[in-house]
Chains A and B, each alone.
Chain A
Amino acid sequence: QVQLQESGPGLVKPSQTLSLTCTFSGGSISSGAYYWGWIRQSPGRGLEWIAYIYYSGATYYNPSLKSRVTMSVDMSKDEFSLEMRSLTAADTAMYYCARVVAGATNYFDLWGQGVLVTVSS
């Protein structure tokens, strides 16, 4: 059974850096049919795409977050990661990792359960 699992700190101080990891199980992250992405959802709000990455390392970022975000992939561990810098309270959200089907269009066909990140001193 394929699944994604996020891991990372639940609490981060303002101005610090958030590091999240997503582990893919039941398959290989180096499958060329998929990208791997991050989405967040602030409390009571809608979904916001953050970034996605191909196993080769090619990355695509939301222009509004690009200056603060970096994604990376570790094929040996079937993991991909998100780093977000200079956090503020506005970054408090549920962070989801997801698999992106690459084709005529890109969409998220598999989601992790999410990790709640609170930015507070």
Chain B
Amino acid sequence: SYDLTQPPSVSVSPGQTASITCSADKLEDQYVCWYQQKAGQSPVLVIYEDKKRPSGIPQRFSASNSGNTATLTISGTQAVDEADYYCQLWDSSTMVFGGGTKLTVL
């Protein structure tokens, strides 16, 4: 089974690019998705199947998955992007979440 590791926190200045990683052995063999959870709100899907954006998600959100690391990238980060971000995969009928990364926009 997979154990998804995320950095607890990432900081970024407004307008800059934020990168949040999710790591596990041979992660590229699985599809990874990403959720955004703002304070006091339910999670929202921002990326699915490694790099696809649901309708309504801004183009500044992109992602990739290669080797042992999946990466969520937010280009031109805005204050509204400050939130917790979780990666997730599905493996052998089991859903696995990463521990989450708190993105702070300073």
Contacts and interface: CB of A to CB of B under 8 A. Distances in A.
A66 to B, nearest CB: 11
Interface residues of A, number: 22
Contacts of B90: 105-107
B95 A49 contact: yes
B95 A112 contact: no
Nearest to B86: A47
B59 interface: no
A108 B49 CA distance: 12
Contacts, number: 59
Interface string A46-80: 11110010000000101100000000000000000
B54 A109 contact: yes
Interface of B: 30-31, 33, 35, 37, 42-45, 48-49, 54, 86, 88-90, 93-100
B91 to A, nearest CB: 9
Nearest to A48: B97
Contacts of B45: 107-109
A47 B33 contact: no
Contacts of B33: 105, 107
A49 B97 contact: yes
A23 to B, nearest CB: 15
